[in-house]
């Protein structure tokens, strides 16, 4: 299959093969799973894409994923990237209890004009219409093919036993310690963003588990040794959302298991004016602060000789 075609909708253009999104020629950050969901919606623009179709294509049979939360997070990230809203959608419409529909017109990105003249024997009559039909058919085939390839690649990466991740890490639900129930949803969204950012940052080196039921236990019932044993992880990330004089303070902790050794903590301030964008920015900074320590600690443990036995 040739190079996948970039498509345009509104002031945005999107490459479904790479997940690259641009607004007026300027790159817009979007994480890998939201980009896959966007690719599937764009490939079926005007049609209703069911939640089950999205689950099969993007999440496959991953038993550790809370699909509803994961899909809601992806759609929220897409809307934030596009400046869209659920109440007055211009791009992604929610179809209650069914799925989603991409409602903006989608077309190919115009290729730069060619300096080469057409062949001398090329017929002129009727060619613009035939060419337009060919371009439209090629674009549709490319988009569908891209979505299939993305889904297949994700499915293969999940199921292939020959290349296990060298580091397994669990992300616990961030604790809302502000006393404000309205920030529970913010803490949950921040947790999902950290899972997505850590997965992207690992590049396949990390086995990241973010939505197993044991990770959503309240703080007073949390058992890190049980998490280490049941999920077979060597590290956990846990966090807190707290009030601060300037708004909100977020702490992200990296802990090695089973020793429960505290390796690093990242402290960040946020004003919370735009929750979705704030979550994504905070998650990126938390992961950027924790991963160097994670990598160095994992490398030193692999290099250390096993304890002597009698």
Digits of tens for pLDDT over the chain (310 positions)? 344 578 998 889 999 888 899 988 888 888 888 999 999 999 998 899 998 898 888 877 654 556 788 888 889 889 888 888 888 888 999 998 899 999 988 888 765 555 455 454 444 444 454 445 544 455 555 554 544 444 444 443 343 343 345 688 999 999 999 888 888 888 888 888 888 888 888 777 888 888 788 888 888 888 999 999 888 899 999 999 998 887 888 999 999 998 999 999 999 987 656 666 677 888 889 999 998 988 888 887 654 444 443 4
CA R_g for the chain? 23
Query: Parallel, antiparallel, or unpaired: how do β-strands 92-95 and 99-102 relate?
Result: antiparallel
Q: Write out the H or E segment, with its range, that includes residue 263.
A: strand 261-270
Q: What's this model's pTM, rounded to 2 decimal places? A: 0.53
Is 7-109+131-159 CATH 1.10.1040.10?
no
Between CA 24 and CA 307 the distance in angstroms is: 58
How buried is residue 286: exposed, middle or buried, by Cβ count under 10 Å (0-12/13-18/19+)?
Answer: buried
Q: Which residue matches tokens 């020793």?
A: 259
Between CA 4 and CA 16 the distance in angstroms is: 7
CB atoms within 10 A of CB 270: 21
CB atoms within 10 A of CB 4: 18
Listed by start position, the domains of the chain span: 7-109+131-159, 167-302
Cα→Cα distances 129→9, 124, 134, 195, 301, Å: 22, 11, 9, 47, 64
Between CA 294 and CA 163 the distance in angstroms is: 20
Class of 167-302 in CATH: alpha beta
Between CA 31 and CA 75 the distance in angstroms is: 11
CB atoms within 10 A of CB 107: 13
């Amino acid at each position: 299959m040739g190079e996948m075609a970039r498509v345009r909708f509104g002031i945005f253009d999107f490459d479904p093969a790479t997940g690259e999104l641009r607004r007026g020629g300027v790159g817009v950050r979007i994480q890998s799973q939201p980009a896959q969901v966007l690719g599937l919606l764009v490939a079926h623009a005007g049609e209703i894409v069911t939640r089950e179709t999205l689950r099969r294509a993007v999440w496959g049979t991953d038993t550790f994923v809370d699909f509803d939360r994961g899909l809601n997070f992806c759609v929220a990230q897409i809307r934030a990237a596009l400046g869209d809203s659920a109440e007055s959608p211009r791009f992604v419409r929610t179809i209650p209890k069914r799925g989603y529909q991409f409602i903006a017109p989608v077309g190919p990105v115009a290729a730069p004009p060619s300096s080469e003249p057409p062949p001398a024997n090329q017929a002129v009559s009727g060619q613009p219409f035939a060419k337009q039909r060919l371009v439209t058919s090629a674009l549709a085939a490319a988009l569908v093919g891209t979505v299939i390839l993305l889904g297949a690649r994700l499915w293969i990466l999940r199921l292939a036993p020959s290349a296990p991740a060298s580091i397994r890490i669990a992300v616990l639900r961030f604790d809302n310690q502000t006393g404000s129930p309205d920030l529970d949803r913010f803490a949950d969204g921040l947790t999902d963003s950290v899972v997505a950012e850590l997965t992207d940052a690992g590049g396949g080196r990390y086995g990241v588990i973010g939505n197993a039921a044991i990770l959503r236990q309240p703080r007073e019932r949390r058992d890190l040794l049980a998490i280490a044993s049941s999920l077979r992880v060597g590290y956990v990330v846990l966090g807190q959302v707290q009030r601060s004089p300037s708004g909100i303070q977020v702490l992200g902790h990296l802990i090695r298991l089973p020793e429960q050794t505290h390796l690093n903590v990242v402290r960040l301030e946020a004003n919370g004016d735009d929750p979705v964008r704030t979550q994504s920015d905070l998650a990126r900074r938390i992961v950027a602060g924790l991963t160097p320590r994670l990598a160095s600690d994992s490398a030193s443990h692999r290099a250390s000789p096993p304890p002597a036995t009698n």
